[in-house]
Chain A
Amino acid sequence: SQQGEEDPQALSIQEGENATMNCSYKTSINNLQWYRQNSGRGLVHLILIRSNEREKHSGRLRVTLDTSKKSSSLLITASRAADTASYFCVSTGGFKTIFGAGTRLFVKA
């Protein structure tokens, strides 16, 4: 399979806690993106990190990228019940866009 891998597959936390999701990919990339999907809905873009960047912030989101390990992590700080969703990493390189299988996050109020 060309797919990337995400870890964990599912994560359950209390509101206010931080959530960390990890992603590994297989090929060299131009960028790596994270998307969110609410149940039964389309995916929504969260953040893009370029291959020459190591860390990026957007609001409560922090993304890191380690190209030597071909891995990325998404940190959501001070989680809210509304953050409950599936999160996907997407690696883009050589005109190919490859999705991971996703992490299902459940934030308990």
Chain B
Amino acid sequence: IAGITQAPTSQILAAGRRMTLRCTQDMRHNAMYWYRQDLGLGLRLIHYSNTAGTTGKGEVPDGYSVSRANTDDFPLTLASAVPSQTSVYFCASSDSVIGELFFGEGSRLTVL
């Protein structure tokens, strides 16, 4: 049972480059989320999707975009990376918007 798979696990990126973080779940959950985790700030929601075909903005959406073409995949794109986007990114899913969250192992992104 894979649960949530994120890729890449780690990436160093030059500022200005485009980057897509991949997230795939095999639990058929309706809701999916992208969070960033920065030291001392806990997790902050970037974007979410309550069901395939719909997305919404979270607390810190600027500089990021997402798509939800199907139930399983929820990629996060940085169109033009900036150093302040250096963070650990976590994808999560849940079968309802108020239920238990299942997390991937994270993608550590460094923007130089």
Contact = CB atoms under 8 A, between A and B. Distances in A.
Interface stretch (A39-47, A60-68, A71-79): A39-47
Nearest to B101: A45
Contacts of B101: 33, 35, 43, 45, 90, 97
Interface string B76-106: 0000000000000010100001101111111
Contacts of B4: 42
A45 B100 contact: yes
Interface residues of A, number: 23
A42 B2 CA distance: 13
B53 interface: no
B42 A42 contact: no
Nearest to B108: A40
Q: How large is the interface on B (under 10, 10 to 19, 20 to 34, 35 or more residues)?
A: 20 to 34
Nearest to B6: A42
Interface in B36-58: 40-45, 50
Contacts of B98: 30-31, 92-93, 95, 97
B100 A99 contact: no
Given A31-B98, A95-B97, A42 B103 contact: yes
Given A2-B59, A33-B100, A48-B100, A42 B106 contact: yes
Nearest to A29: B98
A87 to B, nearest CB: 11
Interface of A: 2-3, 30-31, 33, 35, 40-45, 48, 88, 90, 92-93, 95, 97, 99-102
Interface of B: 4, 33, 35, 40-45, 50, 59, 90, 92, 97-98, 100-106
